[in-house]
Structure 1
Amino acid sequence: MRRAILIVLTLLAGCATYHAQPIAPAQLARQFEQRSLASDDLRAFLAKALGHEIQPWPVARWNRQMLTLAAWHYSPALDVARAQWGTAKAGVQVADAIPNPVLQLPFQFATPNPGPGAPFIWGPALDIPIETAGKRGYRVDQASHLSESARLTIGNEAWKVRGQVRDALLALYAARVRAEFLSRKAQALEQVVRMVGKRRSVGENSGPDVDAVVLVATQAQADLAAAQSARQDALAQLASAIGVPVSALDGVQFDLDELGTAPAAPPAAEARRDAIFHRADLLASLADYAAAESALQLEVARQYPDIHLGPGYTYDTGTHKIGFGIAGITLPIFDQNQGNIAQAEAKRKEAAARTAALQDAILGDLDHALARYRASLDAVQLSARHLTTARHQLDSQAAGFAAGDTDRLTLTQAKADYEANEMTHLDAVVAARQAADALEDAMQRPLEPEPASESLTEQESRR
Structure 2
Amino acid sequence: MRRALLIAFMASAAMAGCTTYHPQPIAPEQLAQQFEQRSLVSEDLHAYVVRETGHDAAPWPPAVWNREMLTLAAFYYSPALDLARAQWSTAKAGIDVAGSIPNPVLQLPFQYNTPNPGPGAPFTWGPSLDIPIETAHKRGYRVDQATHLSEAARLNIVDAAWKVRAQVRDAMLALYAARRRTAFLSAKADAERQIAQMSRHRLAAGQYSRPDVDSAVLADTQALSDLAAARSAEQDALAQLAAAIGVPASALDGVTLDLSAFETVPPAPPAADAQRAAIFHRADLRASLADYAAAESALQLEVAKQYPDIHLGSGYTYDTGTNKIGFGLAGITLPIFDQNQGGIKEAEARRKEAAIRTGALQDLILGALAHALARYRSGIEALHRSDAHLATARRQLDSQAAAFASGNADRLTFTQAKADYQASETARLDAEIAVQQAAGALEDAMQQPLAPIGHEAVSHPLSEETPR
Work out whether the TM-score is over 0.5. yes
Q: Which residue of 1 aligns with 2:319?
A: 316
Q: Which residue of 1 aligns with 2:361?
A: 358
The Cα of 1:462 is off from its aligned counterpart by 8.3
The Cα of 1:236 is off from its aligned counterpart by 0.8
- Pick the aligned partner of 1:26 from 24, 29, 32: 29
Tell me the SS of whatever aligns to 2:409.
Answer: coil
Q: Which residue of 1 aligns with 2:237?
A: 234
The Cα of 1:246 is off from its aligned counterpart by 0.7
What is the one-letter code of the residue matched to 1:335?
Answer: D
- Pick the aligned partner of 1:328 from 306, 327, 331: 331
Q: Is the 8 A contact 1:261 1:429 kept in 2?
A: no
- Pick the aligned partner of 2:100 from 89, 97, 101: 97
Q: Which residue of 1 aligns with 2:154?
A: 151
Cα distance between partner residues in 2 of 1:214 and 1:251: 36
In structure 2, the gaps of 5 or more residues are none
Q: Is the 8 A contact 2:75 2:461 kept in 1?
A: no
What is the one-letter code of the residue matched to 1:276?
Answer: I
1:244-268 Cα offsets, whole Å, 9 max, x none, are 1111111111100121221110010
Distance change >3 Å, CA 414–CA 294, structure 1 → 2: same
- Pick the aligned partner of 2:276 from 273, 276, 283: 273
Q: Which residue of 1 aligns with 2:202?
A: 199
Tell me the SS of whatever aligns to 2:216.
Answer: helix
1:197-276 equivalences in 2 (<5 Å):
197-276=200-279
Q: Which residue of 2 aligns with 1:289?
A: 292
Q: Is the 8 A contact 2:157 2:461 kept in 1?
A: no
Tell me the SS of whatever aligns to 2:455.
Answer: helix
What is the one-letter code of the residue matched to 1:33?
Answer: E
1:222-258 Cα offsets, whole Å, 9 max, x none, are 1000000000111111111111111111111110012
Cα distance between partner residues in 2 of 1:185 and 1:300: 75
Q: Is the 8 A contact 1:380 1:429 kept in 2?
A: yes
Q: Is the 8 A contact 2:88 2:154 kept in 1?
A: yes
Q: Is the 8 A contact 2:88 2:464 kept in 1?
A: no
1:338 counterpart = 2:324 = no
- Pick the aligned partner of 1:448 from 416, 441, 451: 451
1:406-438 Cα offsets, whole Å, 9 max, x none, are 111111110111000000000000000000001
Distance change >3 Å, CA 243–CA 140, structure 1 → 2: same
The Cα of 1:10 is off from its aligned counterpart by 2.4
Cα distance between partner residues in 1 of 2:347 and 2:231: 57
What do you get for the CA RMSD once the two structures are aligned?
A: 1.3
Matched residue count: 463
The Cα of 1:69 is off from its aligned counterpart by 1.0
Q: Which residue of 2 aligns with 1:367?
A: 370
Identity %: 68
1:146-166 Cα offsets, whole Å, 9 max, x none, are 000001001111111111111
Q: Which residue of 1 aligns with 2:133?
A: 130
Q: Is the 8 A contact 1:296 1:344 kept in 2?
A: yes
What is the one-letter code of the residue matched to 2:189?
Answer: A
Tell me which moved more, 451-460 or 429-438.
451-460
- Pick the aligned partner of 2:185 from 166, 182, 185: 182
Q: Is the 8 A contact 1:369 1:438 kept in 2?
A: yes
- Pick the aligned partner of 2:394 from 391, 404, 426: 391
What is the one-letter code of the residue matched to 1:61?
Answer: V
- Pick the aligned partner of 1:426 from 400, 424, 429: 429
Tell me which moved more, 165-174 or 314-323.
314-323
1:62 counterpart = 2:69 = no
Cα distance between partner residues in 2 of 1:44 and 1:141: 36
The Cα of 1:309 is off from its aligned counterpart by 0.2
Cα distance between partner residues in 2 of 1:293 and 1:36: 46
What is the one-letter code of the residue matched to 1:176?
Answer: R
Tell me which moved more, 15-24 or 52-61.
52-61
The Cα of 1:455 is off from its aligned counterpart by 4.7
The Cα of 1:451 is off from its aligned counterpart by 5.5
Cα distance between partner residues in 2 of 1:323 and 1:155: 56
1:105-158 Cα offsets, whole Å, 9 max, x none, are 111122222222222211111100000000000000000000000010011111
Cα distance between partner residues in 2 of 1:34 and 1:112: 79
Q: Is the 8 A contact 1:151 1:457 kept in 2?
A: no
